[in-house]
Amino acid sequence: MTLPLPMVTVLSCEKFSPAKLKLVKEVMLVPPAQLPLQQGIERALDIQKEMTRLLEPAGKAPSPQPADSKKGKARNKEKKASPPAVKRISHLGCLITGCDNLEQPLLLMQTACNNIGLELGADMYLAINCAAHELMDYAKGKYEILTGTFKSPDEMVDTYVELVNKFPSVIALVDPLRKEDRQQWNNVCCALGSKCYLIAEDAATNTSKLKTDQNINIPTCSGVVLKYVNQTKVSDLVELTGLLDGE
């Protein structure tokens, strides 16, 4: 038996925060396939620790003040003006931070790896959960990738090609497009299929129906996310995997 390749979510870019970046929902670490599982998890934890250090606000946080204290209110106002980069930890145990551009979270990962002697693209790889279905402005028919910045489905393909070419350590994109943009799924797979995995999650929500209707239309992609929900059995997941392998 071979253990699956782990994908460890370490950073959430807080899509609905006041920060500008909306395209990246989560950034995941993917250890090299040849690395033992334990060593891969240890590397991911080391990177997360270094990222936590990088995102910590400089200096010691001020002691809490009573809510009705004028001094406390003044300090609270200062904190709002320049909030610490890390706001909280998600239910997945990953850091949550707002970003203002697409490169920022990837450069953060790169810096963290460099600081502990690891090389992105060799010692560790990245995957991005784009969750593109959450970005669509239906009135405009475009994706809002940054606050006030909209791109058509075709322009999204160009954005991903540019991103992966600039950051070759990114080896997987999850839900880069909605399931309705079938032609663009074809285009991005043709452009990037040899460089990274294009994975459908929300765009393949009907995969559970494959057992009863094997004519389900799934966008052209490298793979899909199979979820263990409700009465799903492990044997069901194995069977669905076999059906998808035959697609």
- Report, as residue numbers or ranges, the catalytic residues: 230
- Tell me how far apart the alpha carbons of residues 71 and 225 are, in angstroms, rounded to a whole number: 51
Q: Beta 197-200 vs 170-174: how paired, if at all?
A: parallel
Place of tokens 């040849």: 34
How far is residue 48 from each of residues 10, 130, 191, measured CA to CA in Å?
Answer: 6, 20, 31
d(CA 237, CA 47): 31
Alpha helices in the chain, H assignment, sequence order: 37-55, 70-81, 103-115, 153-166, 182-192, 234-245
Q: How far apart are CA 126 and CA 18, in angstroms?
A: 25
Residue recorded with tokens 């060593």: 39
User: Minimal CA–CA distance to 108: which of 46, 58, 50?
Assistant: 50
